[in-house]
Structure 1
Amino acid sequence: MTALDTPRKVRKTPRNVPEALIYEIMDGKPVYYKGYREVLSGNKKITEIMGSSSLQALIVFYLTVFIGKFIDEDTYTVLTSEAGLHIDHKNNLANDIAIFEQSVLTPDKISRKYANVPPTIVFEIDIDADVEDMTETGYIYKKTQKLLTFGVQKVFWILTEAQVVMVATAERIETFDWNRDIELMHDQSFNVGAYLTKKGVILS
Structure 2
Amino acid sequence: MIATKSGVQGRKPKTKVPEYLIYEIMDGKPIHYKGYLEVLAGTKTFSEIMGSSALQSFVVAYVQRLLFKELSEDDFIILSSESGLHLDKRNNLAGDILIFDNATLPIEAIDEFYAQVPPKVVIEVDITADPTDVTSDSYIFQKTEKLLKFGVEKVIWITTQAKKVTVATPNDDRDGGPVAGNSWHKDVDILNGISFNIGRYLTQKGSPFA
Paired with 1:86 and 1:155, the residues of 2 have a C-alpha distance of: 16
When structure 1 is superposed on structure 2, of 54-63 and 192-201 the one drifting more is 192-201
* TM-superposition CA deviations, 1:45-82 (whole Å, max 9, x none): 00000111111100110000011111021111000100
| Corresponding residue of 2:60 | 60
SS in structure 2 of the partner of residue 128 of structure 1: coil
8 Å CA contact 2:12–2:132 kept in 1: the answer is: no
Which of 175, 194, 207 is residue 201 of structure 1 equivalent to?
Answer: 207
8 Å CA contact 2:9–2:131 kept in 1: the answer is: no
Paired with 2:22 and 2:197, the residues of 1 have a C-alpha distance of: 32
Q: Give yes or no for the alignment of 1:180 onto 2:186.
A: yes
Q: Give yes or no for the alignment of 1:23 onto 2:29.
A: no
Q: Point out which structure has higher relative CO (alpha carbons under 8 A, 6+ apart).
A: 2
| Corresponding residue of 1:166 | 166
Give the C-alpha shift of residue 8 in structure 1: 4.2
| Corresponding residue of 2:198 | 192
When structure 1 is superposed on structure 2, of 132-141 and 56-65 the one drifting more is 132-141
Give the C-alpha shift of residue 11 in structure 1: 2.1
SS in structure 1 of the partner of residue 104 of structure 2: coil
Paired with 1:139 and 1:91, the residues of 2 have a C-alpha distance of: 14
**TM-score, normalised relative to structure 1:** 0.93
**TM-score, normalised relative to structure 2:** 0.91
**Gaps spanning 5+ residues in structure 2: where?**
1-5, 173-178
CA RMSD of aligned residues (A): 1.5
Paired with 1:48 and 1:125, the residues of 2 have a C-alpha distance of: 18
**Gaps spanning 5+ residues in structure 1: where?**
1-5
Judged with a 3 Å threshold, the aligned counterparts in structure 2 of structure 1 residues 203 and 14 are, in CA distance, closer, same or farther, namely farther
SS in structure 2 of the partner of residue 24 of structure 1: strand
Paired with 1:163 and 1:79, the residues of 2 have a C-alpha distance of: 24
When structure 1 is superposed on structure 2, of 182-191 and 147-156 the one drifting more is 182-191
* TM-superposition CA deviations, 1:61-119 (whole Å, max 9, x none): 00000111110211110001000000011111010000000000012210000000000
Judged with a 3 Å threshold, the aligned counterparts in structure 2 of structure 1 residues 126 and 67 are, in CA distance, closer, same or farther, namely same
Give the C-alpha shift of residue 10 in structure 1: 4.9
